[in-house]
Amino acid sequence: MKNLLRILRNNIIDLAFRFRNRAIRALSSKTVISADDSKSDSEVSFYVSSVDAINSNPKKFNRFRRIYNYREILEHVTYWQGIKYLKKIENQNPDLYLNFPKRHTSDLIGKPRRYIYLQDVEISPTTIRYLSVASEIQSIFGTNMSGNVVEIGGGYGGQCAVFQDFFKVNEYEIYDLPNVQHLIKKFLVAIGRSQNVRFPEFGQTHDTPINFAVSNYAFSELPRQIQTWYLENILKKSEAGYMIMNSGRADFTGRNKGKLSIQEIQAVITGSRLVEEVPRTNPDNYVLVWGKHLNLEHCSEIR
């Protein structure tokens, strides 16, 4: 009953904000998919201005995961999707499922929407998705993965925080817009997970070995010219990687315009494989993985 009331309340709130933003977009020609060759999809939404407001206002930072213009891009996983991610974790990582955290550290900051799962577990469905990603990476690449990690598009640092729980990370680098990197740093400091995390500038030469690259949708939402830089300077040099993609293959949502095709990407990342996103959150979505000795037992490979 408590979950149903929360879902109903949150849906009503979101509906009001959604209509408001649609009206504003109609009047200002804004969109959530970039038609600009120099900007990512998130840059043409209300996301960037909301990040600036969060960075400059401590009160907004304390509740930033509730702000609609921010959640529209980063904190929009539903209660029902959370259940599906839990089922995936149960299939891939039974030990994690049986010992699921009652509240992850990252949920202590930003006042995220949390729901009750697995009887007494109250946790954000976005955090469950980050746990699901880490669980799938562990399933595919093994439990002994370690070294230097590069994330393209760090959100607020949620995946970084969870990643450190699963793997032995020497150094974790996050590429993103400077104001987003500032927010990520504030978040990781607040939860005590900022040690060994670096924030390189876009275009900065990468001299240290890259053992693993990860991206949750962000790479696939970048314009072609920026994707190309990451492809040649980060992904090509990564020993292994995992990227959830929403462009480059099917194009039901129109995201492929101005983006690299999956054929162009795979021509550079030799030996890379495609698997289905589970649960499928968008008709264009899929997962790109590469590296030695991939274990795709719990994945549905796309041929």
pLDDT at site 133: 97
For residue 197, is it within any domain?
A: yes
Distance CA 257, CA 223 (A): 9
- My answer on whether omega of the bond before 279 falls inside 30° of 0, hence cis, is yes
Helix (H, G, I), strand (E, B) or coil at 187: helix
What is the pLDDT confidence band of residue 206, given thresholds at 50, 70 and 90? confident
Strand residue runs (E) in 136-265: 146-152, 168-175, 197-198, 212-216, 241-245
- Number of independent structural domains in the chain: 1
For residue 5, is it within any domain?
A: no
Q: What is each CA distance from 24 to 19, 29, 256, in whole angstroms?
A: 9, 8, 25
| pLDDT tens track for 53-101 | 999 999 999 999 999 999 888 888 999 999 999 999 999 999 999 888 8
For residue 239, is it within any domain?
A: yes
Percent helix, strand, coil in the chain, to 5, is 45, 15, 40
Distance CA 122, CA 2 (A): 11
CATH code assigned at 166: 3.40.50.150
For residue 180, is it within any domain?
A: yes
Distance CA 284, CA 252 (A): 6
| pLDDT tens track for 248-279 | 999 999 999 999 999 999 999 999 999 999 99
C-beta of residue 127 within 8 angstroms of C-beta of residue 104: yes
For residue 256, is it within any domain?
A: yes
Domain that holds residue 148: 127-302
For residue 240, is it within any domain?
A: yes
The residue ranking higher by pLDDT, 168 or 43, is 168
For residue 115, is it within any domain?
A: no
Helix (H, G, I), strand (E, B) or coil at 273: strand
For residue 171, is it within any domain?
A: yes
